[in-house]
A and B are shown apart, each in its own frame.
Chain A
Amino acid sequence: MRKLIISRVLQAVPTLWVIATLTFFMTRYAPGGPFDSERAIPEEIKIKLQSHFGLDRPLFDQYLLYLKNLLQGDLGPSFKYPEWEVSELIATAFPVSLTLGLLSLLIALMVGIPAGMIAALRKNSWVDYLPMSLSMAGICLPTFVLGPLLIYALSTQLGMFPPLGWYGPADWVLPSLTLGLFYAAYIARLTRAGMLETLQQDYVRTARAKGAKSWRILTKHAARGGLLPVVTFLGPAFAGLITGSFVIESIFFIPGLGKFFVTAAFNRDYTMVLGTVLFYASLIILLNLLVDLLQAWLDPKARQEK
């Protein structure tokens, strides 16, 4: 177990370096720059700005300087919000996205897993067809449709929750529901498929031959194997959830991390792009490690192999 963690952390270093390098050069070679805008700024100011941020130095020198700062944990200043450091921007926005992501994940799991299990247990009955059709609809329905629908129903009509903003727990409900139900749809389908597969296994028949009740068969014998595909999906899904969603943030006016991914790229905010990409990559690496640990905990065979 410890060996796995150490080797993963060591593997992460070259991975992050490759990502940083690729992102650095790709953004630099993309047309335009951080100080190009529709209203052209005077040439001498632009030159001054560029020299202030070190953009006038040779590209490779800039790259080495960036790596050097990165090693010291310095992501540099934002080009677009000059009074902010990139790390400060991430630090303010991330807690918002983390709250939203965790709540959504909770909803997704609490809705998706039971729905998938029931559907698998009562295959080809209405408790299978109904949640599965709903989940198909959930997958097909983009969040920018589901969001406004929920706002209309629960906020405008019933007045239960505020339609937008991010001030208190009441504001958390609608966005987490929108995002959570979308993921719940995926999880329900994965759970159903995984459980169906497991319920056909010979060892489940053995459990029946022992006289186990359906509930015991489900929880003691089938759940572990059946949920393995869900666990695999959770890693990347969770990373996506807690780094924020541009669409959800735009609909509900939430000051989360998601918008930086989009605006930074548009603005050619080089340091911000690099900062968000590296932050996201580190999260993915970390969460995949967690998923592997979780899998090892669920599956004794995987435990031994690792």
Chain B
Amino acid sequence: MGQLTIRNLEVSFHTREGIIRAVDGIDLAIGPGEIVGLVGESGSGKSVTCNSVLQLLPCPPAQFGEGKIEWSSKDLLQLDEDKMRRIRGKEISMIFQDPMSCLNPFMTVLDQVAEPLIIHKICKPAEAKRKALEMLAKVGVHRVKEYPNSYPHEFSGGMRQRAMIAMALITQPALLLADEPTTALDVTVQAKVLSILRELCSELGVSVLFVSHDLGLVAELADRVVVMYRGKVVEQNDTASIFTHPKHPYVKALIACRPTLETSDDRLPTVEDFINPGKETEKSPADTSPPKTSSKSAKTLVEAKRLVVEFTTDEGSVRAVNDVSIKIPQGSTHGLVGESGSGKTSLGRSLLNLIRRQSGEILFNGIPVGHKGHPHEKQFRKSMQIIFQDPYASLNPRLTIEQALVEPMIVHNLGSSKRERIKRVIDLLEEVGLGEEHLARYPHEFSGGQRQRICVARALTTEPEFIVCDECVSAMDVSVQAQVLNLLKSLQASRGLTYLFISHDLGVVKFMSDQISVMQKGQIVESGSAENIYNDPQTKYTQQLINSIPAANRSKNFSFTHPSVSPGP
């Protein structure tokens, strides 16, 4: 059984822009059989730490400083490639974030799971395959038994990640490094994969370094939590204490700024509030106080009747949206929850008439929205906008912010002169917390949160009444997410906007929405007020969705009753 001790680890990246200190002198220890959670936002250095242990970082650009990574009385940073290779996959294994790209698409899953045994000459290929089949059955990948020649693309994301776990644990390593292993998965799948991981590691007595951006998720299985911020460890403690008595302001912020199912405030606290208390940081109009118009009295702005959307693929047609009816009152937010493939995005896009519907009717302000090419199409386009999930992909990298924001106004003939349009763009930028100085810049010069603010501003250029927010905060760190959610809420209050808010995150949807619909397999299985859905879920699927959320993300005052993993012998 190994003990991993990281002492004063420093990792810097030497790039053309200068030296970036990704990890700035951290200390970390993982005892035998212990499960340690490593939490931090993107860029905090958590993945770099994890990859440093196995020496998987390309050097250059990565460079190591003074520190040590001690593993069974060896310093891993001093080992040569061949000695290091013997440790990888045998004594220390690793699983990665994206099961789509981390399995070799050209090799059968069975071969890949068996490979560590063959590489480390633990057994003969035939024996290795037999053991791999056993291991795959253990993690619940049964398809391989029936079809030993299946390739990764024939499996779902959850199944691939299970196969990754089987591959990592097949050699019975002493330590498992898990780098965001469930981030790319749906909540229900995430819950299953996590429980498999927990059971298997406790059965084999493997110690785990579990890296995640999600503090609540880490609380599900870690004995101890280490929080990183800008390359440094800001706090480490046992899991319960971190939640009950966080000491560092950043950790307090991390816990506070994620909306749980119990959050009922109108505004989420942000990291800035904790780190620079007393300072007014939100540039956006802070007034979120005016009470929302009761959704009962308001008129219906968007209505869909028996909407059907079909996609034809090689295997036949798939009903992405199957007979869905929905009513969204003016000035309210309708939340749409469901797992990937449930049809939420298709529903959102067909409401905007961005994709063709097979049948059904859409009414906007009581006027039917026709198919593409309809005479009123342009008018509808102007009143309905969309904010996409990935602000990196949804802004044209070759247009400046000014060009990107002026374009919709030109299309819709808004504003009489160039000057007037630019003035409106500046007003909008200020409204979302940016400014005139950003006009001439290109998207790559902004952070993810800023880009999403630009996307919000772009959606507002045509003065729309209705905005579809399609997973618009899913790719963000919790602190940035809080800022964008606050912005959306305050804009709704000041402009009377109507939102369709699509997300897989029940907590976020609950925070944003008045009404919630739960989608599964193209149909709305449950619909009701946000409070009711959460307090009294009617369908099994909704219950399952709620139960799959890590306890800490469900409620701030959760108790640690999860089956904690007992330390190995």
- Enumerate chain A interface residues (CB-CB to B < 8 A): 201-203, 205-213, 216, 220-221, 224-225, 298-301, 304-305
Contact = CB atoms under 8 A, between A and B. Distances in A.
A224 B116 contact: no
A301 B94 contact: no
B167 A205 contact: no
B167 A210 contact: yes
Contacts of B102: 202-203, 205-206
Contacts of B90: 211
26 contacts: A203-B102, A203-B104, A203-B105, A205-B96, A206-B96, A206-B102, A207-B104, A208-B56, A208-B88, A209-B88, A209-B89, A210-B88, A210-B93, A210-B115, A211-B89, A211-B116, A211-B119, A211-B120, A212-B89, A216-B119, A221-B106, A300-B106, A300-B151, A300-B153, A301-B151, A305-B314
Contact of A202 (B86, B98, B119): B98
Q: Which of A220, A299, A304 has the most CB of B within 10 A?
A: A220
A220 B107 CA distance: 8
Contacts of B557: none
B516 interface: no
Interface in B33-91: 54, 56, 85-90
A209 B85 contact: no
Contact of A209 (B56, B98, B106, B314): B56
Contacts of A203: 101-105
Contact of A298 (B104, B106, B116, B119): B106
Contacts of A299: 105-106
Main secondary structure of the interface of B (DSSP, over half): loop
The A interface is mostly helix, strand or loop, or mixed, namely helix
A189 B167 CA distance: 35
A4 to B, nearest CB: 13
Interface in B531-560: none
Contacts of A298: 106
B89 A210 contact: yes
Count chain B CB atoms within 10 A of each CB in A206, A212, A224 and give the residue with the most.
A206
Interface in B295-353: 314
Interface of B: 54, 56, 85-90, 93-94, 96, 98, 101-107, 115-116, 119-120, 151, 153-154, 164, 167, 314
Contacts of B107: 220-221
Nearest to B108: A300
Contacts of A208: 56, 88
Q: Which of A201, A205, A299 has the most CB of B within 10 A?
A: A205
A211 B105 contact: no
Contacts of B54: 209
A130 B94 CA distance: 37
Contacts of B115: 207, 210, 212
A260 to B, nearest CB: 42
Contacts of B116: 210-211
Contact of A211 (B85, B151, B314): B85
Contacts of A305: 314
A209 B92 CA distance: 9
Given A202-B98, A216-B119, A211 B88 contact: yes
A108 B463 CA distance: 62
Given A205-B96, A300-B151, A300-B153, A225 B105 contact: yes
Contacts of A301: 105, 151, 153
Contacts of B164: 206
- Among A221, A225, A300, max chain B CB count under 10 A is at A300
A31 to B, nearest CB: 48
Given A207-B115, A216-B119, 7 more contacts: A203-B101, A203-B103, A206-B102, A211-B85, A212-B115, A213-B85, A221-B104
Nearest to B167: A210
A69 to B, nearest CB: 41
A212 B82 CA distance: 10
Given A205-B96, A208-B56, A209-B56, A224 B106 contact: yes
A287 B543 CA distance: 57
Contacts of B88: 208-211
B51 to A, nearest CB: 9
A209 B151 contact: no
Nearest to A220: B107
Nearest to A207: B104
Contacts of A304: 153-154
Given A205-B96, A221-B107, A210 B119 contact: yes
A202 B105 contact: no
Contacts of A210: 88-89, 93, 115-116, 119, 167
A198 to B, nearest CB: 10
B153 A202 contact: no
A110 B93 CA distance: 37
Contacts of A216: 119
Which 7 residue pairs across A and B have the least CB separation, nearest first? A211-B89, A210-B89, A211-B88, A202-B101, A300-B151, A203-B104, A224-B106
